[in-house]
Chains A and B, each alone.
Chain A
């Protein structure tokens, strides 16, 4: 049954969303690398006035094993206020939680007890395959006319094409593949949109066989992973333009369009350049009637003693930054960039998107550095800042440390561990300061690894807005 007034977590504009109250809880995807125990959604207490602040206070196990939880999203968000198909009286209530390896999609209800989400539906891999022709579901965005889920692989063991499946808002049934005409697009990964401009953007990682057993050196050096982004007509569901970054720029992953619907730009992070192991951030923007990209940030590799490097990197004598996630604050002013290889989270002022200015950095973990959390200096950390999430008011940044099971094992062969750190934004200098009271890790996650974090009520990568 619908509400009488709009869900209070829906905001017409990003500026209004930035005034939202601080989140009390965070949901974190946790997975068992061995695939022997069920994966889980861990619930963290993010209320600084609570006695259990910074601790795991809830734990919902899934019914199967081997799902490999990764990214997830909400059933509804601020896009419900969009005027063409408004439905603001539904609730932001259900977490849509795909298993990247199993291709199952789980629906968890956070309403009866926000600290103990309950499983209400499982969409089996067969349904996703039969109805949409896809497998390996990944990114979830709440669209105005349905729930959009990107997927990396094809159905029935096919490598691809990957694409986007649409789920019904109400029943969560798979309605079908989103694309009416995919043009040259084959590889898939992330997607998002400039909703009011009828523009959808997708990025490229690799097909299931290219990623599931770990990164394949020959494919990487052969420049076979994705290196383009695609622009689509969101209303007609048709491919419009493929923009190639150059095949040395392997794996453009996370897409972060400006939240302001009148803006026509966004950022995409590239994991690695095969020429010098650097990572880069690109800006997409309009160029006349077409779309263009401009490389706006380069992050160089850091030289290292081969003895300190995993086998994969020994021949190169350097640690690649490996930019695996980026996140743009709701006010579109600050871009946060995770360097999972070097163990650094960098904050840029992108008020002028063509000319980012580095304004802050925090070192945690890293392949060579193993930088400890400042509040726990005796604990060297594995992994690095990976999934990054920003509160709607832009004051708190959460990072978790696992990338993807098999890839964790390659880059952190002695174990990646599990930790979630919270960084407070220094209001005076704009930098980031690790919160000494918030560092759930290790056994708190019961032996599971941690991937994406979603904040109760919404966060910087969960909502789309139709009003400036």
Chain B
């Protein structure tokens, strides 16, 4: 992968990290509820783990598939998927439903996994991964044996993405907890979901054009 690809993956991670719905706000709520910063800090790793799992599933699947299938097929499928999911997110008023706030670390991971999946966090990486030349290009390229190596690339991409996400989430959570206060939500909580849905559609279109 090129430096630009890594940067793009990290950038998307930062974007996810900024979104209050993706986890940092939950971490802040836990810190405030228990009146200690340690509760905030303890909440972030499970949230990041859930996000990683959600993104890694998609990334590994895409990279592995690309290693064995003609890239045009993957690109077209991915592009259609992105446009469809983005449009659905854009047009549907439904929001993620979850009742219960006293979660164990495992439950918190599960919550983060579902939240990320519902927002199409993994799908977001599709255009970046598809812009790359197929992984494991070598003697085994195009064979099933290339799949594991491809999947590994995908996992690495997900990991880089999640580290960036966690770093940004940590900074924002601490900033809100220590300095800004939750009142900032009233002004600064831009509707990322709607923007995100639009970006997904655009990314899908770009992917489709690239495949053509």
Residues of A within 8 A of B (CB): 1-6, 8, 10-13, 16, 81-90, 143-146, 169-170, 195-198, 234-237, 261-262, 466-468
Decide if B182 touches A12 in the complex (CB within 8 Å): yes
For B185, the chain A residues whose CB sits under 8 A away are 6, 12, 81, 88
Decide if B186 touches A10 in the complex (CB within 8 Å): yes
Contact among B95, B96, B189 with A6 in the assembled complex (CB-CB below 8 Å): B189
Choose among A3, A83, A87, A169 the residue with the greatest number of B CB atoms under 10 Å from its CB.
Answer: A83
Known: A5-B190, A12-B183, A89-B191. A83 touches B97 (CB 8 A): no
- Interface segment among B25-33, B53-61, B130-138: the answer is B25-33
Known: A12-B182, A12-B186, A262-B33. A146 touches B101 (CB 8 A): no
Decide if B99 touches A235 in the complex (CB within 8 Å): yes
Contact among B29, B183, B186, B193 with A83 in the assembled complex (CB-CB below 8 Å): B29
Known: A262-B35, A466-B29. A5 touches B191 (CB 8 A): yes
B143 within 8 A of A: no
For A235, the chain B residues whose CB sits under 8 A away are 99-102
Decide if A467 touches B182 in the complex (CB within 8 Å): yes
Decide if B182 touches A13 in the complex (CB within 8 Å): yes
- Using an 8 Å CB-CB cutoff, how does the interface string of B180-211 with A read, 1 for contact, 0 for none? 00110111011101100000000000000000
Known: A83-B26, A84-B111. A198 touches B100 (CB 8 A): yes
For B111, the chain A residues whose CB sits under 8 A away are 84
Residues of B within 8 A of A (CB): 20-21, 25-26, 28-29, 32-33, 35, 93-102, 111, 182-183, 185-187, 189-191, 193-194
For B21, the chain A residues whose CB sits under 8 A away are 83, 86
Least Cβ distance of A86 to chain B in Å?
5
Measured in the bound complex, the distance between the Cα atoms of B121 and A354 in whole Å is 48
Least Cβ distance of B20 to chain A in Å?
6
Least CB separation from B92: chain A residue: A170
Least Cβ distance of B105 to chain A in Å?
15
Measured in the bound complex, the distance between the Cα atoms of B191 and A146 in whole Å is 20
Contact among A5, A88, A145 with B97 in the assembled complex (CB-CB below 8 Å): A145
Contact among A83, A89, A143, A170 with B25 in the assembled complex (CB-CB below 8 Å): A83
Decide if A468 touches B183 in the complex (CB within 8 Å): no
Q: List 15 A-B contacts (CB under 8 A).
A: A2-B191, A4-B194, A5-B187, A6-B185, A12-B185, A83-B101, A88-B189, A90-B93, A90-B95, A143-B99, A196-B102, A235-B99, A235-B100, A261-B33, A466-B101
Decide if B95 touches A169 in the complex (CB within 8 Å): yes
Known: A6-B189, A170-B94, A198-B100. A89 touches B35 (CB 8 A): no
Decide if B191 touches A85 in the complex (CB within 8 Å): no
Measured in the bound complex, the distance between the Cα atoms of B99 and A146 in whole Å is 9
For A12, the chain B residues whose CB sits under 8 A away are 182-183, 185-186
Measured in the bound complex, the distance between the Cα atoms of B101 and A236 in whole Å is 11
For B26, the chain A residues whose CB sits under 8 A away are 83-84
Decide if A85 touches B33 in the complex (CB within 8 Å): no
Measured in the bound complex, the distance between the Cα atoms of B107 and A236 in whole Å is 13
Decide if B93 touches A2 in the complex (CB within 8 Å): yes
Given contacts A81-B185, A89-B193, A466-B101, 18 further A-B contacts (CB under 8 A): A5-B191, A6-B186, A16-B182, A16-B186, A81-B189, A83-B20, A83-B28, A84-B99, A84-B100, A84-B111, A85-B98, A86-B21, A169-B95, A196-B102, A237-B99, A262-B35, A467-B29, A467-B32
